[in-house]
Amino acid sequence: MTPMTMSQLQAMRETIAAGWMATATEHWSWMATPDIRFLHTNGEPYLTARDSKQCGGWYGRILRNVYDVQDEPRTAQAFLCDMLGEPDCAGIDAINVHAPAGKNSLKDSQRKQLLRNLLQSESKYRPAGCVGEAKFFIGGDINTQLMVPIRSVE
């Protein structure tokens, strides 16, 4: 509910970049050294990392009022993720949802409203259309309980 300070944000960036670099050099030595870039809007709860050698433009924006929770702002981070050297039409609409546990717990009806609003928001992949008509993925936290996969017993 409280935005990160600039020093907290910088510490997170350094930690993410160091972890990414260590993983890239330890496990994927065949890959070029990544060029880690971040997408962040001050005052918002999103910090998204990418390797700019693998993923091109982002065209990020914050979607506001994506669902109703009394007196608590609810947002999502949306961006177009495209492959380097490919046209924007080859990209994917990506949406990062952060639904912090506030004073009011989310109800299933609010989660459905959130997903409906996200799917109906403007697509950057298909500017004349909406996200639900394009290639997209939605990730993040919408305050659901831990889901344990069911394993078949043979």
Q: pTM above the 0.85 mark?
A: no
Q: Which amino acid is at 36?
A: I
- Classify residue 152: in a domain, yes or no: no
User: Exposed e or buried b for every residue in 40-78, given b needs 16+ CB within 10 A?
Assistant: beeebbbbbbbbeeebbebbbeebeebbebeeeebbbbb
- Classify residue 93: in a domain, yes or no: yes
- Classify residue 150: in a domain, yes or no: no
Number of domains in the chain: 1
Asked whether the beta carbons of 35 and 51 are under 8 A apart, the reply is: yes
Which structure tokens are listed for 82? 């495209």
Asked whether the beta carbons of 124 and 79 are under 8 A apart, the reply is: yes
- Classify residue 112: in a domain, yes or no: yes
pLDDT tens figures, 3-17: 778 899 899 999 999
- Classify residue 94: in a domain, yes or no: yes
- Classify residue 154: in a domain, yes or no: no
- Classify residue 1: in a domain, yes or no: no
pLDDT tens figures, 85-139: 776 567 888 888 876 555 666 778 888 888 888 899 888 877 788 988 888 888 8
The HSE-up count of residue 50 (CA atoms within 13 Å, CB side) is 20
CA distance 107 to 105: 6
Q: Which domain holds residue 88?
A: 6-141
CA distance 9 to 15: 10
